[in-house]
Amino acid sequence: MSDASLAKPARFRPATEEAPVARWAMIAAAFLGLGILVFAPLIAVFVEALARGVAASLASLATRDAQEAIKLTLTIAAISVPLNAIFGVAAAWFITKFDFRGKAFLITLIDLPFSVSPVVAGLCIVLMFGANSAIGGWLVAQGYPIVFAMPGIILATMFVTFPFVARELIPVMIEQGRAEEEAALTLGASGWRTFWTVTIPNIRWALLYGVLLCNARAMGEFGAVAVVSGKIRGQTATMPTTIEMLYQEYLSVAAFSLAAVLALLALVTLLLKTALEIRHADQLAATHRH
């Protein structure tokens, strides 16, 4: 070997690393995609909301209709998300910890809300519980209407957001297997105690993530809710349906101000998740094996 070749060693690069040009092209493409699809619309919402100044925007949010819409949406989320978290955990637990016939069918069934259009789901609820149906008619007679009222909106929201928690949990629980639960049982713990001290702590991050996704979707659901709620202002109009109505009436500041609040609520949930992840980073590292 001559000195020249020693002085100028060939540049090797790991097999999995691309050439710099390809790398930068891909990074740029990713940012461009993100920018066009995510950041630009988000910024546009806030720009439109503040187009006539902060005062006008705040005034539109202070109207009774806007206040009621925000209240209704938060109430719907506060009721449907915990219920779906419970159903999701139960479904995932049942599917992953037991062997039974028809398991594959049940997993498909859980995914059904993802494949069915929310509008169709809303129509199904109207058919089932509307004033013209047997159940709905009876309930209306008792003074508990489902459709065009809060219960219908909750049902529609729960239907659409049902898969989120279960879908997050099933792969995690399959990967973890049943050995830790069995160990707890052999140590004398009851099934209930095993569930709270072993199963839940092992799935808490997946559960949290599922709940946050479920929450974001529950607050944002439009199609199914639009069908069942009747969009009565100040009563059954949620934030998304109110935004649409305001926009149709060319009240763009009001529409975009409410949209900005909805976007902010989603951002807050994301920030909450990130903060929790940072705070519990050591625990995450200790408990996550993948």
Partner 1 sequence: MQIEIDEISKQFGTTAALHPVSLSLPSGALVALLGPSGSGKTTLLRILGGLEFPTSGRVMFDGQDATGLSVQDRRAGFVFQSYALFRHMTVFDNIAYGLNARPRASRPTKAEIARRVSKLLELIQLPDIGARYPSQLSGGQRQRVALARALAIEPRMLLLDEPFGALDAKVRKELRQGLRDIHDTTGLTTVFVTHDQEEAMELADLVVVMSMGRIEQIGKPQDIRARPATPFVREFITA
Shortest reach from residue 219's CB to partner 1, in Å? 30
Shortest reach from residue 54's CB to partner 1, in Å? 46
Q: List interacting residues with partner 1 (CB under 8 A).
A: 179-180, 182-190, 193, 197-198, 201-202, 283, 285-287, 289
- Nearer Cβ to partner 1 (89/245): 89
- Nearer Cβ to partner 1 (171/201): 201
- Nearer Cβ to partner 1 (141/183): 183
- Nearer Cβ to partner 1 (13/289): 289
SS in 3 state form for the chain? CCHHHHHCCCCCCCCCCCCHHHHHHHHHHHHHHHHHHHHHHHHHHHHHHCCCHHHHHHHHHHCHHHHHHHHHHHHHHHHHHHHHHHHHHHHHHHHHHCCCCCHHHHHHHHHHHHHCCHHHHHHHHHHHHCCCCHHHHHHHHCCCCCCCCHHHHHHHHHHHHHHHHHHHHHHHHHHHCCHHHHHHHHCCCCHHHHHHHHHHHHHHHHHHHHHHHHHHHHHHCCHHHHHHHCCCCCCCCCHHHHHHHHHHCCCHHHHHHHHHHHHHHHHHHHHHHHHHHHHCHHHHHHHCCC
- Nearer Cβ to partner 1 (183/270): 183
User: Over the Cα atoms of the chain, what is R_g?
Assistant: 25
Shortest reach from residue 286's CB to partner 1, in Å? 4
- Nearer Cβ to partner 1 (18/182): 182
Shortest reach from residue 287's CB to partner 1, in Å? 5
Shortest reach from residue 96's CB to partner 1, in Å? 16
Shortest reach from residue 174's CB to partner 1, in Å? 15
